[in-house]
Chain A
Amino acid sequence: MLQGKWTNGIIYFLVFLLILFILSPLIVILPISFSNSDMFQFPPDSFSLERYQTLFQDEQALSSIWLSLYIGLVSTVLATLLGLLAGLGVVRGRFPFRSLLESFFLGPLIVPLVTTGIGLLIFFAPLGMTGSSIGIILAHSVIISPYITRILIASLRQFNVSQEEAAIVHGATPWYAFRTIVIPQLLPAILSGAILAFLVSIDEYTVTVFLANADTITIPIRIYQFVSMDINPVVTALAGLIVICSFGLIALLEWKWKIHRYLEM
């Protein structure tokens, strides 16, 4: 579109810098996590898995990893159900003020997390639910649900209603039609949304920090603790592990289902 060698060259250069900017934290973290020097050195001078070995012996880090995985999995299941109900309700149900309802369902993404966090703290504290993983799970299920809801809304809008009618006319109960026609076709969207939501849960800090106590230190809170107390060699390995796993998952989603289609705001 824009032409000319000069403009082209400039654009390429700027984009190169931009990509460098986007990737720079990862470019730094990965090599350091695979080095063994005690000092923080970049670029590192040798390759080693020492830091990862330390990570897998560090009780604190391990307990955080397990806790985060547990919270992530359970809250993702809840959020997936919630997102499915919300998406189907807003696209297919009969509601007045449909677009307002949609904003409400996507609201947890827009409302400042501190506000949500304080609200849940005020709500949960008298019930004795702060510091428990149940409180954090409920909180996460709400915060991460918009990612699933949005993906489902986008893919439901492309779904042809007459398929369900065909199913019902030919003898399917609404529930049978839902199970055999709607769900299987939404599966890619549901799975992509769920995996992204899971990643968001694993990384959630702001709300979690209001609800967590010493027994419920999730990965991001642990990383912040490690970082703010002292630069602990374990933290680079933990960060490296997260980078590798998340990138793997996202690459899989983008390659299989082109998830970027669903992520427009």
Chain B
Amino acid sequence: MARSNSKIEIAISLDSIVKEYQGERVIDQVGFQLQEGEFLSLLGPSGSGKTTILRIVAGLVKPDSGSIILKGKNIEHIPPHLRNMGMVFQQYALFPHLTVYENVAYGLKARRLEKKVMKERVSKYLELVDLLPFAKRKPKELSGGQQQRVSLARALATEPILLLFDEPLSNLDARLKEQMLHEIHTLHRTLGFTAIYVTHDQNEALYLSDKIAVLNHGKIEQFASPEKILQHPKTPFVADFFGYVNRLEDAILQDNNTATVGQINVPIGHQGINSLAGKKGQLFIRPNAIQVAEYQQTLVKDKGNLPAVVLDARYRGGETEVQIQLVNEAVNLTAVIPKMIVPSPKQGEQISIVFDSSGICFFPGDDSDE
């Protein structure tokens, strides 16, 4: 009973998908499971294969091997138009010769839905994206943000099993992006659809997702919830991608909680697999895991503080980013103080810092590789 129950909840599962182009492996053994109603982000740098995975799921690209199970059904041989999916494209891909209404109705018309049902459905989703008054316009007569909302309504209107997004916000300006981000999230909460969302922007992924898959060179580096990924990046690549800006080479693991770089002890919150005391490796430190005692009063000064010198300080969205150099060790670090410090710390100013272990992780070096 419990077994069949859990089976129903899986919306889609991919298993060892492989795709090669001209002998080059673009998708390498990708597999994951997504539960119904979950929002998954495929996150990765350009060329990592995000779009290709999305297109494989949609049926626009045939994988060389692997299986895709949609709602318990293998859809390998089902053509894209019968897969019942919705898709939002980066360049909108609206039909310029049709009105907004006809664009949204397109999928319903292709399914030969009754006129009355169709009308209700189109109106409902146009209403949801706030575009009902624009129903009679052509896409060209709308702004970029409005066009993307039409595209969203078109994808929603067929009430698909799975919604696919391919970098839908990358053509919008920063402000519209925020607005759309919020809108997509709200729609997801109210409608409860299952979605796969492709992006190269970690903030979008963190904001929207229940699960994030980080892709690198066609491989999934980590598949986990946003919290998990933020706190426990599985590989240096993921750490780097999620803002572990400071990277210290030649660190040595002392015990479960500390590593040393030269003379300095650094507390660590998380270590990669196969870490043993005495192992050499890299330390990744988030800027906000370096706290500047002089400016963050919640901290108690103690003798664990490390003396440092300010090299430069800049404001960044209400925070203060400080470049510092440790006094005892020739190490440069970037720290972030989560508020505006006025006047900003001056160059040459003497400060002392404390490491917060929750934003620091250790990855053992690959002996064979170096």
Contacts and interface: CB of A to CB of B under 8 A. Distances in A.
Direct contact of A and B (CB under 8 A): yes
Nearest to A184: B97
B78 to A, nearest CB: 12
Given A170-B107, A171-B111, A181 B158 contact: no
Given A160-B93, A166-B87, A172 B60 contact: no
B171 to A, nearest CB: 13
A168 B81 contact: yes
Contact of B154 (A162, A165, A170, A181): A170
Interface string A158-189: 00101101111111111010001100110000
Contacts of B97: 184-185
Given A165-B60, A167-B106, A167-B110, A172 B81 contact: yes
A180 B86 CA distance: 18
Nearest to A163: B93
Contacts, number: 64
Given A172-B81, A176-B110, A160 B91 contact: yes
Given A162-B89, A166-B87, A166-B89, A171 B95 contact: no
A interface, over-half SS? helix
Interface in B105-137: 106-107, 110-111
A171 B158 CA distance: 9
Nearest to A167: B106
Nearest to A164: B93
B93 A171 contact: no
B60 A168 contact: yes
A179 to B, nearest CB: 11
B48 to A, nearest CB: 20
Given A162-B91, A166-B87, A166-B89, A172 B96 contact: no
B207 to A, nearest CB: 25
A152 to B, nearest CB: 17
Nearest to A170: B107
Nearest to A165: B60
A160 B94 CA distance: 10
A181 B58 CA distance: 19
B106 A169 contact: no
A170 B86 contact: yes
B85 interface: yes
Contacts of B158: 170-171
Given A165-B60, A176-B110, A170 B93 contact: no
B214 to A, nearest CB: 25
B170 interface: no
Interface of B: 58-60, 80-87, 89, 91, 93-97, 106-107, 110-111, 154-155, 158, 164
7 contacts: A160-B91, A160-B93, A165-B60, A169-B81, A170-B86, A170-B110, A170-B158
